[in-house]
Structure formats: structure tokens, C-alpha cells
């Protein structure tokens, strides 16, 4: 019995297809969604969603966070944002990281809201950079 995976971001539906397994980046570690699993709802951290057919990874998506709803026959990911890993670039991630780090240095000590926003963005771009470096073609 296949598992129906769906990855949706606010902008669009990225994928809806049958797979044998999906590994998603939960806040407390990676979690596998497989057919006949017990229902589970979990919060996602920034990281890679890997889709499997048999023992082969057929696609990887980077998500910046969100939620996953897993059941016996489905895994629905509601991502804050998501992108196919093959569309990501180490150079672009490094440039965004440099930009955020310079913005961080310019924030006044009393601008708590901006600190929170840039802190979340920094966590996300660091996770993206780590993922794209780890999964870059050799």
C-alpha cells in the first residue's frame, strides 16, 4: 500500500504523489512516515524532506518549518516555505546568510521584534545552507 505525500506551501502545492516512505525533519529529530503508521501531528524544523520509492530517494525538498499530519495512508506537509533541493544554490544561501548577518549587526539593542524576525531567518538560512552543502552533487 503506497503512502500519499503532499507538500504545500502558502504559494503553491509542490508535490502530491505516492511514495513508499517520507522522512521529515521534526523538531525533535527526523521522523519516517510509512504506510500503516499510527496517526501523528508534528511541528517541523528547517530541513530536508526525503521521498523514497523502495530504498531509493527519488526527491528531496527543503522546508523552513511548518507542520506534518501523518496517518496510515498519507503524509501532508504544510510548510512555511518549501523548495525542491535541486533548485537551491550554495552561493545564494551564503549570500543570504551574509546579508542577514550584516542586518543582525545593525539592529539596535531595543528592537526585540526585529531581533526575533532576523533570528528566525538566520536559523532557516543556516539550515538551508547545511542541507544544500550536504546534498550537493559531488
> For 52-96, how does the pLDDT look when each residue is reduced to its tens digit (9 = 90+)?
999 999 999 999 999 999 999 999 999 999 999 999 888 998 998
- pLDDT given at position 121: 85
| 75-101 per-residue burial string, b: 16 or more CB within 10 A, e: under 16 | bbbbbebbbebeebeeeebeebbeebe
**CA angle (98 as vertex; 86, 96 as ends), nearest 5:** 35
Rounded mean pLDDT, 13-27: 96
- pLDDT given at position 137: 62
pLDDT tops 60 at residue 97: yes
Classify 8 as helix, strand or coil.
Answer: strand
**Domain boundary assignment for the chain:** 3-85, 88-134
For the chain, what is the mean pLDDT?
91
Q: Element (H or E) spanning 67, and its range?
A: strand 66-70
What's the whole-model pTM score? 0.85
CATH class of the domain whose range is 3-85: mainly beta
**By percentage, how much of the chain surpasses pLDDT 70?**
98
Amino acid at each position: 500500500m503506497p503512502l500519499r505525500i503532499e507538500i504545500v506551501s502558502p504559494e503553491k502545492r509542490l508535490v502530491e504523489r505516492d511514495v513508499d516512505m517520507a522522512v521529515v525533519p521534526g523538531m525533535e529529530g527526523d521522523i519516517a512516515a510509512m504506510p500503516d503508521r499510527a496517526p501523528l501531528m508534528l511541528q517541523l524544523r528547517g530541513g530536508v524532506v526525503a521521498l523514497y520509492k523502495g530504498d531509493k530517494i527519488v526527491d528531496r525538498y527543503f522546508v523552513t518549518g511548518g507542520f506534518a499530519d501523518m496517518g496510515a495512508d498519507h503524509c501532508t506537509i504544510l510548510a512555511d516555505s518549501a523548495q525542491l533541493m535541486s533548485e537551491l544554490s550554495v552561493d545564494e544561501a551564503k549570500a543570504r546568510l551574509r546579508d542577514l548577518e550584516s542586518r543582525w549587526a545593525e539592529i539596535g539593542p531595543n528592537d526585540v521584534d526585529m531581533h526575533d524576525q532576523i533570528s528566525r531567518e538566520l536559523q532557516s538560512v543556516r539550515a538551508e545552507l547545511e542541507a544544500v552543502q550536504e546534498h550537493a552533487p559531488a
